[in-house]
């Protein structure tokens, strides 16, 4: 696998090694051994995934920007197995030099890229294809009482979602998240989130 560091420390793009021939392709979508060998030294800690999730969405669906509050914080490793999405991680760690900044990456069934989002980040995506199947690994179990979010439509974040946001398809819950300026983050840069 090839690891691409981004402008925000700990947020990583991962490109798997594909083996192609006349029949198609093969790749390891996840290897705990290789993840520990290549990602752990960058992060400075181990990540152990315990839950896999999958969603299917149609064009214009926007999900996010979600996170789990302490003590149920989650790191995620996400990928798009069918279609195309714009995936985004927003730094919401108080005191971070990159607070409110984001990293966006296109994840597609063709590029096979994966995106690692550490704890202390809000995560969301927009579906750019007719439909998309999206998978993610989490390093903590989902706890509904720890659900949190910031508005995916907050223009101050400067995210180009690549779809007209006035026509976005959002859940009722996602329309009620606070804007970043009104948000009291439960994460602090000095707190060990790992």
Catalytic residue ranges: 66, 136
The Cα 170–Cα 186 span in angstroms is 24
The Cα 7–Cα 102 span in angstroms is 9
CA distances from 40 to 48, 81, 106, 120 (A): 11, 25, 24, 17
Quick one: DSSP state of residue 60?
A: T
Residue 101 burial (CB < 10 Å; 0-12/13-18/19+)?
Answer: middle
The Cα 13–Cα 105 span in angstroms is 8
Contact yes or no for 74/139 (Cβ under 8 A): yes
The Cα 22–Cα 93 span in angstroms is 47
CA 50, 51, 55 angle in degrees (round to 5)? 160
């Amino acid at each position: 696998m090839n690891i691409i560091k981004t402008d925000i420390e700990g947020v990583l793009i991962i490109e798997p090694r594909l083996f192609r021939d006349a029949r198609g392709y093969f790749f390891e979508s996840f290897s705990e051994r290789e993840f520990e060998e290549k990602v752990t030294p960058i992060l400075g800690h181990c990540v152990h995934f315990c839950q896999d999730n999958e969603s299917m969405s149609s064009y214009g669906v926007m999900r996010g920007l979600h996170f789990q509050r302490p003590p149920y914080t989650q790191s995620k490793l996400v990928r798009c197995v069918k279609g195309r999405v714009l995936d985004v991680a927003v730094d919401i760690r108080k005191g971070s030099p990159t607070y409110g900044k984001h990293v966006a990456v296109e994840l597609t069934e063709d590029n096979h890229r994966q995106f690692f989002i550490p704890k202390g980040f809000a995560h969301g995506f927009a579906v750019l294809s007719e439909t998309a199947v999206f998978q993610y690994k989490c390093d903590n179990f989902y706890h509904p009482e720890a659900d949190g979010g910031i508005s995916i439509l907050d223009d101050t974040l400067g995210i180009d979602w690549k779809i007209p946001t006035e026509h976005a398809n959002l859940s009722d819950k996602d329309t009620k998240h606070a804007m970043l300026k009104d948000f009291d983050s439960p994460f602090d840069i000095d707190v060990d989130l790992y």
